Amino acid sequence: MKKLLLIALTLLSGFSTAQAGELLFVEARHSGKCLHVTNASQENGAAVTQWDCIDKPNVKLEELPAGDGYVFLRFVHSGKCLHVSNGSQENAAPITQWDCIDKPNVKIRKKPAGEGYFHLSFQHSGKCVHQANGVQNNGGAITQWDCIDKPNVLWRIRPVSPPAAVAAAASAPDAQTSAVAPLVAGAAVATPVLAANAADKSTALPPPQVLSRFEARQIDDAVFAYISKRVKDPVVKITKVQIEGVMGEAVATVEGRDYFRIFLKKKDGNWAGIFDGAIGPGDCEAMGFPKSSKICGY
Please report whether residue 139 resides in a domain. yes
Q: Which of 89, 124, 159 is the last residue of a domain?
A: 159
Rounded to two decimals, what is the model's pTM? 0.55
If asked whether residues 155 and 165 sit together in one domain, one would say: no
pLDDT in tens, 176-185: 332 222 322 3
If asked whether residues 43 and 69 sit together in one domain, one would say: yes
CA distances (Å), origin 209, targets 150, 194, 199, 272: 30, 11, 17, 20
Average pLDDT of every residue of the chain: 76
| Predicted local confidence at residue 177, as pLDDT | 30
pLDDT in tens, 126-154: 999 999 999 999 999 999 999 999 999 99
pLDDT in tens, 88-138: 999 999 999 999 999 999 999 999 998 889 999 999 999 999 999 999 999
If asked whether residues 34 and 150 sit together in one domain, one would say: yes
CA distances (Å), origin 266, targets 246, 273, 285: 5, 9, 15
Please report whether residue 294 resides in a domain. no
| Predicted local confidence at residue 166, as pLDDT | 35
Q: Would you put residue 297 in left (φ > 0), alpha (ψ -120 to 50) or beta?
A: left
| Predicted local confidence at residue 268, as pLDDT | 81
The whole domain housing 111 covers: 24-159
pLDDT in tens, 207-247: 444 566 677 778 888 888 888 887 877 788 877 788 888 88
Query: Out of 49-63, 64-78, 177-191, which region has the weakest mean confidence (pLDDT)?
Result: 177-191
If asked whether residues 40 and 106 sit together in one domain, one would say: yes
Q: Where are the alpha helices (DSSP H) in the chain?
A: 164-170, 213-228, 283-287
| Predicted local confidence at residue 254, as pLDDT | 80
Please report whether residue 296 resides in a domain. no
Strand partners for 59: none
Mean pLDDT over residues 19-39, rounded? 89
